[in-house]
């Protein structure tokens, strides 16, 4: 979203309901098979086993999806499996050695990925464990010595796990036998539900991070100190959810781009975020995410279809930095797609889109590249899940703002919306109608407001009746008050934490929006057909 020029101020429309949270997090902490890993960096010791595969690439790069239909899930060990003495909380945390938050992501039924950073670049031990039956003992699922890359970053894929279970993880310095000398912040992640399981799945979503300001907090490349806490992330940390989903604009790197936009500058900028406000939420669950414009710079500054060599170099550096720090199975911009798909049993499939890097000028009609668009249609048609959640950085909704409203162009810029790429948007809706597809929910950000609404006013078809939930986690857009309450039964200019529960048993999606005071400002059950 273009944000350098603030819009005029007005009050959004916000309603309050005292609705309780539907479901607590379900901590399935049964024992699992020993981990097998693949990782970037070097491995010492006998734990360096070849990676297992399940017959799917999980990236969507060939139009496929991580649908867990390859090899069967590993059998859990005997209940009498002996534990290992280990008390990670007793090891002192070192923010000097581990200034950034380790993160888990790419959660599948038998695996997930850990991304971490070591300030000194020294070898560290990556451990993944589950609590044992005896206090002070754990069941180790991964215990491996890892050498970070030249910039101190590492990624480890932990495989051979059990679906739908929670695992703890951390980075540790020193010798395990003599006793670790320091550790990182500790985190937890849940593997995706296996096939055949239809139980509720709860997510928290975020976009456009900040501290409740009209103008974003731009990262200063000359002073990359950790970000202050953010109200929405503090509130999110008070709740339980299976997955944290970020829809883009994790930070505002515009000044980094203007200062030269080197790979090293972008890596340092990510340290502001992952050494600061995100420490409240990223350790609480695994992450799925996409990017928006400000992970590079404002879309009003540079077009993704630019041919200028200097601009292309800065975009490439920003994308490479994203792939370095985020726990996803991708490392080469332009070769590894960001778009991918993840199934959580028979409950919900998360279809992660890249709505920035592939788009072409509006007159071309190309919003998503041909392969990605075909992938999206295939997943909507072929997914066996009751719900399909489209993880989308910019709104699919048509805002239908008053034509005589002088500020309306701030929301309907055709270069920056599905709404401006009429042909592809219409083709997707026609596909939904032709196949009578149901159970689709769009989640989105970018426009610095929160809303719950349908993608078109006065809908008459399945494609026009799809629901969308939009979030801002910090930045404020007073234009939210212009949205129609008929199309958008709830909208607000203010930051909130949306908690969304996909409940196949009751055949509803519960949307709860928590405000920065910690109360549920809006609660609504969506019936998605």
Of the three residues 135, 170, 190, the one that is the final residue of a domain is: 190
Which has the closest alpha carbon to 253: 213, 299, 205, 214? 299
Helices (H) and strands (E) in the chain, counts: 8, 24
Angle at 445 between CA 317 and CA 214, to 5 degrees: 90
Q: How far apart are CA 95 and CA 98, in angstroms?
A: 5
Q: How far apart are CA 167 and CA 242, in angstroms?
A: 12
List of residues 6+ apart from 2 with CB closer than 8 A:
298, 299, 300, 410, 413, 416
Q: What is the pLDDT of residue 80?
A: 60
In tens, the pLDDT along 345-397 reads: 999 999 999 999 999 998 899 999 999 999 999 999 999 999 999 999 999 99
In tens, the pLDDT along 119-166 reads: 999 999 999 999 999 999 999 999 999 999 999 999 999 999 999 999
In tens, the pLDDT along 429-440 reads: 999 999 999 999
Going by pLDDT thresholds of 50, 70 and 90, the confidence category of residue 19 is: very low
In a domain, 347, yes or no: yes
In a domain, 90, yes or no: yes
Same domain, 178 and 231: no
Please give the residue range of the domain that contains residue 113: 36-190
Instruction: Note whether 518 and 238 are within 8 A (CB).
Output: yes
Of all helices (H) and strands (E), which one includes residue 356?
none
Same domain, 239 and 388: yes
CA atoms within 13 A on the CB side of 437: 27
Same domain, 377 and 433: yes
Same domain, 173 and 212: no
Of all helices (H) and strands (E), which one includes residue 182?
strand 182-183
In a domain, 76, yes or no: yes
CA atoms within 13 A on the CB side of 8: 6
Q: How far apart are CA 131 and CA 402, in angstroms?
A: 57
Q: In CATH, what number is assigned to the domain containing residue 172? A: 2.60.40.10
Going by pLDDT thresholds of 50, 70 and 90, the confidence category of residue 410 is: low
Of the three residues 130, 165, 190, the one that is the final residue of a domain is: 190
Which residues lie across from 509 on neighbouring strands? 502, 526
Q: What is the pLDDT of residue 312?
A: 97
Same domain, 294 and 170: no
In a domain, 10, yes or no: no
In tens, the pLDDT along 79-112 reads: 567 899 999 999 999 999 999 999 999 999 999 9
Q: How many domains does the chain have?
A: 2
In the DSSP assignment, the letter for residue 505 is T
The alpha carbon of 146 is separated from its chain's Cα centroid by a whole number of angstroms, namely 25
Going by pLDDT thresholds of 50, 70 and 90, the confidence category of residue 14 is: very low
Of the three residues 190, 218, 243, the one that is the final residue of a domain is: 190
Measuring CA to CA, how many Å separate 149 from each of 105, 268, 280, 407? Answer: 19, 15, 26, 47
Same domain, 263 and 148: no
Claim: this prediction has a pTM higher than 0.85: yes
DSSP calls for 46-104? TT-PPPP--S--SS-TTS--B---SSPPPPP--TTPPPEE--GGGSPB-TTT--S--EE
Q: How far apart are CA 214 and CA 230, in angstroms?
A: 15
Same domain, 172 and 267: no
Same domain, 157 and 256: no
In a domain, 20, yes or no: no
In tens, the pLDDT along 260-319 reads: 999 999 999 999 999 999 999 999 999 999 999 999 999 999 999 999 999 999 999 999
Same domain, 279 and 174: no
CB-based burial label for 402 (10 Å; 0-12, 13-18, 19+): exposed
Q: Taking residues 249-254, what's their average pLDDT?
A: 98
């Amino acid at each position: 979203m273009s944000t350098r020029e603030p819009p005029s101020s007005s009050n959004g429309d916000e309603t309050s309901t005292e609705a309780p949270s539907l479901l607590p997090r379900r901590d399935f902490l049964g024992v699992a098979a020993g981990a097998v890993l693949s990782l970037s960096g070097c491995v010492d010791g006998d734990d360096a086993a070849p990676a297992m595969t399940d017959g799917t690439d999980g990236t969507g790069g060939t139009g496929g999806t991580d649908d867990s239909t390859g090899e069967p899930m590993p059998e859990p060990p005997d209940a009498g499996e002996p534990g290992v003495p280990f008390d990670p909380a007793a090891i002192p945390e070192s923010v000097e050695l581990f200034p950034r938050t380790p993160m888990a992501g790419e959660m599948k039924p038998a695996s997930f990925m850990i991304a971490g950073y070591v300030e000194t670049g020294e070898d560290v031990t990556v451990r993944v464990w589950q609590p044992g039956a005896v206090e002070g003992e754990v069941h180790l699922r991964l215990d491996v010595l890892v050498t970070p890359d030249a910039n101190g970053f590492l990624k480890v894929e932990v495989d051979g796990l059990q679906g739908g279970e929670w695992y703890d993880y951390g980075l540790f310095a020193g010798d395990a036998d003599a006793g670790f000398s320091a550790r990182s912040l500790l985190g937890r992640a849940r593997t995706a539900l296996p096939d055949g399981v239809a139980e509720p799945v709860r997510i928290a979503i975020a976009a456009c991070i900040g501290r409740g300001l009209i103008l974003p907090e731009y990262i200063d490349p000359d002073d990359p100190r950790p970000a202050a806490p953010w109200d929405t992330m503090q509130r999110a940390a008070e709740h339980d959810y299976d997955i944290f989903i970020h829809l883009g604009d994790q930070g505002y790197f515009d000044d980094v781009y203007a200062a030269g936009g080197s790979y090293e500058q972008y890596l340092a900028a990510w340290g502001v975020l992952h050494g600061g406000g995100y420490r409240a939420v990223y350790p609480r669950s695994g992450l799925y995410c996409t990017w928006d414009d400000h992970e590079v710079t404002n879309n009003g500054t540079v077009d993704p279809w630019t041919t200028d060599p200097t601009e292309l170099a800065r975009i490439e550096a920003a994308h490479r930095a994203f792939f370095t720090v985020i726990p996803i199975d991708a490392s080469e911009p332009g070769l590894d797609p960001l778009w991918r798909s993840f199934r959580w049993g028979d409950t919900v499939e998360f279809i992660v889109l890249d709505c920035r890097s592939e788009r072409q000028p509006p007159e071309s009609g190309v919003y998503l590249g041909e392969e990605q668009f075909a992938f999206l249609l295939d997943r909507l048609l072929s997914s066996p899940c009751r719900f399909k959640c489209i993880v989308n950085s910019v709104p699919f909704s048509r805002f239908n703002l008053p034509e005589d409203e002088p500020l309306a162009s701030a929301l309907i810029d055709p270069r920056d919306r599905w709404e401006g790429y009429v042909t592809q948007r219409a083709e997707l809706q026609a596909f939904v109608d032709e196949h009578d597809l149901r159970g689709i929910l769009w989640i989105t950000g970018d426009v610095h407001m929160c809303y719950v609404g349908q993608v078109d006013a006065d809908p008459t078809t399945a494609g026009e009746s799809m629901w969308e939930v939009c979030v801002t986690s910090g930045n404020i857009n007073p234009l939210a008050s212009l949205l129609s309450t008929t199309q958008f039964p709830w909208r607000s200019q203010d930051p909130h934490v949306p908690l969304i529960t996909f409940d196949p048993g009751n055949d509803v999606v519960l949307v709860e929006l928590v405000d920065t005071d910690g109360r549920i400002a809006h609660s609504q059950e969506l019936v998605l057909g």
